[in-house]
Structure 1
Amino acid sequence: MLNINYKITLSFISILAGGVMLLSSCSKKDEQTPTDPEATQPIRPVTDLSKAYVTQLFSYNPAPGQFINTSVGNTEAAQSVLNGKNGLVSLGAFGGSIVFGFDHTVLNVDGKEDIVIYANAATGSAEPGVVWVMQDTNKNGLPDDTWFELAGSATNAAGYVRNYQVTYTRPDPVTGDVKWKGSLKDSGLVKTNTFHKQPYYPEAVTAASYTLQGTLLPSTNIDANNPSFITSAPFNFGYADSTPGGDKVDIGNAIDDKGNKVKLNGIDFIKVQTGIQFNLGWLGELSTEVRGIADISLEKL
């Protein structure tokens, strides 16, 4: 769901027919001693030419949603997030994701937040996205090493689920509600609304169904008592599109796929994934948006 003032079109980059990027997910265990998964991690140093904002788009794998297949974005919609904070792209319902790269290694500064993610959250309309980070360990410039989730305030809370999967099925007719089935034996619909009447199922996915995987966040921040305007409050910390004005995240909160804290010297790639599966009534599905991502140490505020 986007603020009504915004309209988005989405192009689809790196979506394979019948398949999507699977996300490894993890949980936080504070009692465990941090480990160093890559003690010899290569560092790409900051130079005079380095940019504060992400400079490369590697993949865009949206879930179905009301802004998917619209006419206000296509390829440029996802690419608009690069090199600044005034772009805008929607990831669709749960599991939709986007992967970016920096032109340098963003260093992990102890005790400080390292990255800021700009979106379009407003009071009462947080749409939290899970944040993942990766080091370019093999030095090939591609996000093909290990993803680490950044633990947030909802990690391990009731309703937090790692490795949650959702399968979306193309509707017939294609402009109808999109059915989904989750790995918790749950199911539902990405419902259409009167504001957006195009197909919500991604046109670039040629298969009749596809599966997305990631970390499911609790829906306890959502107040559905007033069906005429369902509100969603921000989490305390750690998520994209949660706080008006942007969300700062700390690389020091990285955890591995077993929930252990890990110590990263820095990161080269970042992924944002819609974390909640929820229909907000006439406002549409809850869908994380991204406007820009920056290395705080380089951004001139």
Structure 2
Amino acid sequence: MKNLKDIIFLKLLVIVILFASACKKELQVKPSISGVDTDATILNIGDKLTLAPNITNTKGNNYIWLVNGKETASGQLNYTFQATAPGIFEVTFKATNKGGTDQQSFKLIVEKPIVISLTDQLDVSMCNVLEITPAITGPDRKDYDYEWSIGESVIGRKLNLSFISPEAGTFELTLRATAGKQTVTSTRKITVKAEQYVKNAYTVLEYAPAPGKNHNWSIIGSADNWKYGDEYPLAYNDFLTKATSIRKVNANAALFLGSWGGSATFKFDHTVANVSGKTDLELTAFYSNRDLPAVYVAYDRNKNGTPDEDEWCELKNDDYGQEDIPEYEMIFTYNKTETDAKRIYSYFNWKDNQPSLGKGEIVTNKTFTSSMTTTGAFSSRGFFPGLAVTDIATKQTAMLDGWKTSFSRKGKRISRNLTGAAPFLQKLNIDIDLAVNKKGETIQLPGIDFVKVQKIVYPFQQDLSTGNVMTDYNMEEGRMLQVGSILDKHLKN
């Protein structure tokens, strides 16, 4: 019996010892910290962030908080960090008891504030481009967004602004910069001085007609008025000067660009503003709705007064990308002129650059009595560009100075059946926002200074008398391109 009691006692003693040991071990288990995000938290100056980690085994714990190794608080489970200066901060939470220590760190990044520096004095003449280049300091990020605005109208979304206004006045110009959670704005007054300009692109920089049957290279005005003084058979540079002076006072004075490839380049006396959401140019020309002229524009970025090759952009229209021959070329060569008692015969040849060579000859047959203008001059209608009768009495002809006896016209070609698509004088509204470079990439232009118009549709017409036979109609007078006014739609004066 005694032995049984001793055994029971010993068992109870073991249980008590084990229980006491377990309690002792519990008191000595070190704290465990969790709930700390391993990713950095981005803050801005003035932000406050309360850090509240989770902790287990809290009995007998001591707590301290350190910022970049320096103790800033103790005895508390939570800590509020105040962002007072930019930088990278490691906020460490440390918990200690008799069982040991655990610690976890929060990574905080306080970003530099965005600061915008803008010129205090901003002024420019209307229809001139002012390049505004602000200085921006702030966080090292790649997600900056910029927005320039006047009132509620957004006029730019890049850091630098090419500012242009077709109206005079004083405006509130605001730049808004955003990066991360920061947004900062800066506003300046910009004064736009009034100027006087001509709405029409009157200066003719280059005239490159492509001839055909009854083509009239010397027209500056209406092609139908060849007999009434609209012809100016002049040396090439003199013709450009004359066309420029006439178009300055008469916007409707047209040039006869002719068959496929014919073009002319014009210059404004100001930069036409590219106004977002609006068409910017109005072109008047003689064409059909299925025979749109190609329009190219250039902004004189380097201010050298001439359109450099790398400045040209094409304005996309309904025919953009429809060309069947991307690089077509036609070569025109003056051959000869013959006369008899009553008539004059003028000959020129043409050929193209295709493997199955296209070629032909155009002969103009004119009587002297039916080709005289009201001023007593012999009409150049139907002659090769630059060819003129220099002496009526002796019936002498000559190529005037500056004109070439052989030249080529190059560009893209759209071959099209234009049966029933009659050309007529109409207006074409043009949006500079549709400008693309040679790769087809959209180019954002602040405005444009130069315009080039070219005929690119090569017309065919169905001959109904012979069934479905398609006839080359490129050099027929009724299909030739004529270009009149090219107007800045934003000028009010």
TM-score by length of 1: 0.67
The Cα shift of 1:160 comes to 4.4
Which runs of structure 1 show a deviation greater than 6 angstroms over 4 or more consecutive aligned residues?
A: none
Q: Are 1:291 and 2:456 an aligned pair?
A: no
- Aligned residue in 2 for 1:100: 266
The match for 1:116 among 274, 282, 297 is 282
- Aligned residue in 2 for 1:73: 232
The Cα shift of 1:200 comes to 2.6
Q: Contact 2:166–2:491 (CA<8 Å) still a contact in 1?
A: no
Q: Contact 2:346–2:365 (CA<8 Å) still a contact in 1?
A: no
Q: Secondary structure, in 3 states, of the residue corresponding to 1:81? A: helix
1:190 and 1:113, CA in 2 relative to 1: closer, same or farther beyond 3 A? Answer: farther
The Cα shift of 1:108 comes to 1.4
- Aligned residue in 2 for 1:199: 383
Q: Secondary structure, in 3 states, of the residue corresponding to 2:416? A: coil
The Cα shift of 1:138 comes to 0.8
Aligned length: 244
- Aligned residue in 1 for 2:320: 155
Q: Secondary structure, in 3 states, of the residue corresponding to 1:298? A: coil
1:197 and 1:245, CA in 2 relative to 1: closer, same or farther beyond 3 A? Answer: closer
- Aligned residue in 1 for 2:433: 252
The Cα shift of 1:69 comes to 5.3
1:140 and 1:90, CA in 2 relative to 1: closer, same or farther beyond 3 A? Answer: same
Task: Name the structure where helix makes up a greater proportion of residues.
Answer: 2
The Cα shift of 1:193 comes to 5.8
Q: Are 1:140 and 2:287 an aligned pair?
A: no
Q: Secondary structure, in 3 states, of the residue corresponding to 1:269? A: strand
- Aligned residue in 1 for 2:421: 232
Q: Distance in 1 between matches of 2:163 and 2:354?
A: 37
Gaps of 5+ in 1: 1-35, 224-230, 234-241
- One-letter code of the match for 1:150? L
Q: Which has the higher contact order (CA 8 A, sep 6+)?
A: 1
Task: Name the structure where strand makes up a greater proportion of residues.
Answer: 2
Q: Contact 1:62–1:92 (CA<8 Å) still a contact in 2?
A: yes
- One-letter code of the match for 1:248? N
1:263 and 1:178, CA in 2 relative to 1: closer, same or farther beyond 3 A? Answer: same
Q: Distance in 1 between matches of 2:244 and 2:458?
A: 22
Identity %: 25
1:260 and 1:180, CA in 2 relative to 1: closer, same or farther beyond 3 A? Answer: same
- Aligned residue in 2 for 1:21: none
The match for 1:176 among 347, 365, 370 is 347
Q: Contact 1:192–1:284 (CA<8 Å) still a contact in 2?
A: no
Q: Contact 2:332–2:348 (CA<8 Å) still a contact in 1?
A: no
Kindly provide the CA deviation profile for residues 223-275 of structure 1, in whole angstroms up to 9, marking residues without a partner as x: 1xxxxxxx435xxxxxxxx7643111111111111122211111111111121
- Aligned residue in 2 for 1:55: 202
The Cα shift of 1:57 comes to 1.8
- One-letter code of the match for 1:135? Y
